[in-house]
Amino acid sequence: MDTGSGTPEERLVIFDTTLRDGEQSPGASMNLGQKLRVAHALNDLGVDVIEAGFAAASPGDLESLQAIARQVNGPLICSLARCTTGDIDAAWEALKDAPRRRIHVFLATSKIHREFKLRLAKQEILKRAAEGVARARERFDDVEFSPEDASRTEPEFLAEVLERAIEAGATTLNIPDTVGYALPSTYSNTLRYLRQNVRGIEKVVISVHCHDDLGLAVANSLAGVLEGARQVECTINGIGERAGNASLEEVVMALKTRHDVLHVTTGIRTDRLYPTSRLVAQVTGFPVPRNKAIVGLNAFAHESGIHQHGMISNRETYEIMRPEDVGFSQSSLVLGKHSGRHALKERLGTLGYDLDDKQLDAVFADFKSLADKKKEVFDTDLEALVLHGQVLHPRQRIWEIVALSTTSGTGTLPAASIALKDATGECHRQASSGDGPVDAVFKAIEGITGVQVRLRQFQVNSVTTGEDALGEVALEVEHETGIYRGRALSTDIIEGSAEAFLDVVNRILSRTDEPPKVKREAEAI
Ligand code: KIV
Ligand code: ZN
């Protein structure tokens, strides 16, 4: 890439596929509003390309691609497409309003995919790849081509397919390790072979796209960079099909921290990594493991006395990156119950959250009730209020909790008594017993509202630290009209469970949730 200063800089393209491959993780589907929020966050993070969906996969994908194409201005917005006219037309329909756009066409090339999935001979694959790229070039200037399952494709045939794609006008060639089978050394060999044997390869950008089935996605991606790849495809928190994709934050911080070896830079604003990771965890409902590299809560925690002593003398004894470099704010005590709206706004601004007046009002209300319950309010609490609270998840206020009490203990029947207010302000009461206090609460809410559901998932995660940490309760239920999710934030698990259950009930009653999404069909041409 030329910087305009006369010196060619080794700048790596970060291609984010959280909204396409990431969204293909079972259970990670996002609705339109959530996808838009993630796309804006990716823009703030500084990614170069946002693969925002697969236009032909569903009308919902097409609609969200269109919305992102119209509203997110900065990165190239990209849609995946098979090498068919229908898919390419759908991608064009989705992206024609984007100021900067790319199409990503793919076709499987490995023997096993050719024989068992596509039932196509090599000659037919070569023809379809070339025709697909050429058709894509009629509409798009920027065309990426992926030979799916490249790492298990015969190298000579792979080289032939890629040569055809270049001749047909591909501008980026991606080399997917679709099933996460490669090792760093085998992946390097493949890339080196292609660079030596594909005519015209020096004219295009080589991209890597690695899955994490053997836990090697990031290692393989970096091996690819060392072999000359100048685009890495990755996702926030490494979400994606099966074990996931290469994690964006790990790739970026490895490139930055080991620039001495890897010699490339990215346009990523690394201090946005942590907030973006939290946002994606929150909207997908996939929590980040505490020990996850770069963005896990323990990533910068030092437990052993020897380590702590070393850190105090010189942090570089045990720290190769600074927490602030990835936007990880230390849990410093910041605000108390007497703090005002202005102080809250300032602190949130420092944490990178620029809220409008209405949003600030909502966070301020949540902050005041939290400060009443909790002795100390930390940055992580404030972040939780923004990411998990009312601002991003306004509740449908059809039913509201007025009072709640539960009893449980050894030898007693768990019971709950609850009072709910309906939309007219009328109060309804019910007492129930259950297998535990939470079950009793759910039964009492079902009794009052008349909404019957089957609980599919119940998760409580601590989203901040300490004895009086804020916990997020996330529920997934099955109702006769579909699958619904609800969530709530509280320092009290029973109260949080009741609020999350009521959130689900209110969503069912107002039917605002997207209907459950059918998982995409495997490629079939
Ligand atoms: O893993 C894969 O092969 C893909 C392609 C569509 C690029 O996601
Ligand atoms: Zn993939």
The answer to whether the CB of 58 falls within 8 A of the CB of 50 is no
Q: Once rounded to an integer, what is the mean pLDDT over residues 344-359? A: 79
Q: With contact defined as beta carbons under 8 Å apart, do 75 and 13 qualify?
A: no
Cα separation, 61 vs 460, whole angstroms: 30
Ligand 1 test: best mutation among 178, 220, 520, most atoms within 8 Å of CB?
178
497 pLDDT higher than 60:
yes
pLDDT of res. 303: 57
For residue 375, pLDDT beyond 80: no
Distance 240 CA to ligand 2 centre (A): 7
| Average pLDDT value for residue range 396-415 | 89
Residue with CA nearest ligand 1 atom 5? 148
- What pLDDT score was predicted for residue 474? 85
Give bridge partners of residue 419 from the DSSP assignment: 403, 429
pLDDT of 26 above 80: no
403 in the same domain as 497? yes
Enumerate residues 6+ apart whose C-beta is below 8 A from 184.
216, 219, 220, 222, 223
In a domain, 486, yes or no: yes
Q: Is there a single domain that holds both residue 407 and residue 497?
A: yes
Q: Strand order in 427-433's β-sheet?
A: 400-407, 415-421, 427-433
Question: Is any ligand 1 atom within 6 A of the Cβ of residue 178?
Answer: yes
Q: What is the pLDDT of residue 309?
A: 64
Does one domain contain both 32 and 120?
Answer: yes
Domain boundary among 237, 253, 284: 284
Q: Quick one: pLDDT at residue 300?
A: 80
Residue with tokens 């009490």: 405
Tell me if 176 CB under 6 Å of ligand 1.
Answer: yes
**Within this chain, do residues 468 and 414 fall inside the same structural domain, yes or no?**
yes
Q: What is the mean pLDDT of residues 241-245?
A: 95
Query: What does each C-alpha distance from 183 to 188, 222, 468 come to in angstroms?
Result: 8, 11, 44
More confident residue, 440 or 460: 440
Q: Which pLDDT score is estimated for 9?
A: 54
327 and 451 inside one domain: no
CA of 225 to the centre of ligand 2 (A): 18
Answer whether residue 4 is part of any domain: no
- Residues 318, 274, single domain; the answer is no
Q: Is 21 in the pocket of ligand 1 (CB under 6 A)?
A: yes
Q: Is the CB of 106 under 6 A from ligand 1?
A: yes
The model's pLDDT over 263-283, given as tens digits with 9 standing for 90+, comes to 999 999 999 999 899 889 888
Give 278's contacts (C-beta < 8 A, 6+ positions apart): 288, 295, 383, 387
Q: pLDDT tier at 156 (50, 70, 90 boundaries)?
A: very high
CB 406 within 8 A of CB 416: yes
Q: Is residue 355 one of the residues assigned to a domain?
A: yes
**Percent of residues in the chain assigned helix, strand, coil, to nearest 5:** 45, 20, 35
Q: Which atom of ligand 1 is nearest to the CA of 20?
A: 8
Determine if ligand 1 sits within 6 Å of the CB of residue 485.
no
Distance 400 CA to ligand 1 centre (A): 45
Specify the ligand 1 atom closest to the Cα of 179.
1
Inside any domain, residue 3: no
Percent of the chain with pLDDT over 90: 62
Instruction: Give 99-146 pLDDT, tens digit per residue.
Output: 999 999 999 999 999 999 999 999 999 999 999 999 999 999 999 999
What does the pLDDT average to over 234-253? 97
Q: Is 207 in the pocket of ligand 1 (CB under 6 A)?
A: no
Q: What is the pLDDT of residues 52-71, one digit of tens each?
A: 999 999 999 999 999 999 99
Q: Domain check: are 376 and 404 in the same one?
A: no
Mean pLDDT of all residues belonging to the chain: 88
DSSP character at residue 351: T
CA-nearest of 297, 306, 235, 330 to 45 is: 235
Say if CB 442 and CB 434 are below 8 A apart.
yes
The reply to whether 155 and 238 lie within a common domain is: yes
Among 371, 391, 411, which residue terminates a domain?
391
Lowest mean pLDDT among 181-195, 327-341, 433-447: 327-341
Q: Determine which of 8-12, 121-125, 188-192, 491-495 has the lowest per-residue pLDDT on average.
A: 8-12
Question: At 119, which CATH number?
Answer: 3.20.20.70
Q: Do residues 334 and 377 lie in contact, with contact meaning Cβ atoms separated by under 8 Å? A: yes
246 and 141 share one domain:
yes
Place of tokens 């019910």: 430
**Are the beta carbons of 249 and 217 closer than 8 angstroms?**
no
**Global pTM?**
0.75
Q: Rounded mean pLDDT of 424-445?
A: 94
Q: Count CB neighbours of 399 within 10 A.
A: 21
For residues 317-341, give the mean pLDDT.
Answer: 78
93 located within any domain? yes
> In terms of domains, do 222 and 98 share one?
yes
Write down the pLDDT at residue 432: 95
CA of 377 to the centre of ligand 2 (A): 40
Which domain does 399 fall in, by range? 395-510
Total of domains in the chain:
3
Higher pLDDT, 443 or 309: 443
- Over residues 40-52, the mean pLDDT reads 97
CA–CA separation, 315 vs 175, rounded Å?
39
Query: How far is Cα 394 from Cα 455, in angstroms, rounded to an integer?
Result: 22
β strands within 383-510, DSSP E: 400-407, 415-421, 427-433, 454-462, 471-479, 482-490
Q: How confident is the model at residue 312 (pLDDT cuts 50, 70, 90)?
A: low
CB 417 within 8 A of CB 408: no
Q: Could you tell me if 350 and 468 lie in one domain?
A: no
- Picking from 284, 309, 328, the residue at the C-terminal end of a domain is 284
Report if residue 294 sits inside a domain. Answer: no
- How many Å lie between the centroid of ligand 2 and the Cα of residue 170? 19
Q: In this structure, is residue 368 part of a structural domain?
A: yes
Residue 431 per-residue DSSP state: E
Pocket test for ligand 1, best of 106, 174, 221, 241 (most atoms within 8 A of CB): 106
Q: Residue 234 pLDDT > 60, yes or no?
A: yes
Confidence band, pLDDT 50/70/90 cuts, at residue 224: very high
81 CB-near residues (< 8 Å, 6+ apart): 54, 55, 56, 87, 88, 90, 91, 103, 104, 105, 106, 136
CB of 209 within 6 A of ligand 1: the answer is: yes
523 lies in a domain? no
Assess whether the C-beta atom of 231 lies below 6 angstroms from ligand 1: no
Selection from 212, 338, 237 nearest residue 287 by Cα? 237
What residue owns the CA closest to ligand 1's atom 1? 178
Pocket flag, ligand 1, residue 148 (CB < 6 Å): yes
Residue of the CA atom closest to atom 2 of ligand 1:
178
pLDDT value at residue 286: 84
Residue 146 Cβ inside 6 Å of ligand 1? The answer reads: yes
Q: How far is the CA of 148 from the centre of ligand 1 (A)?
A: 6
Distances (CA, A) of 515 to 22, 24, 133: 19, 16, 34
CATH code assigned at 416: 3.30.160.270
d(CA 153, CA 177): 10
> Is the per-residue pLDDT at 512 higher than 90?
no
Q: Tell me: the pLDDT tens digits for 296-311?
A: 978 887 555 566 566 6
Q: Are both 260 and 154 inside the same structural domain?
A: yes
Ligand 1 midpoint to CA 220 (Å): 15
Average pLDDT over residues 465-470: 70
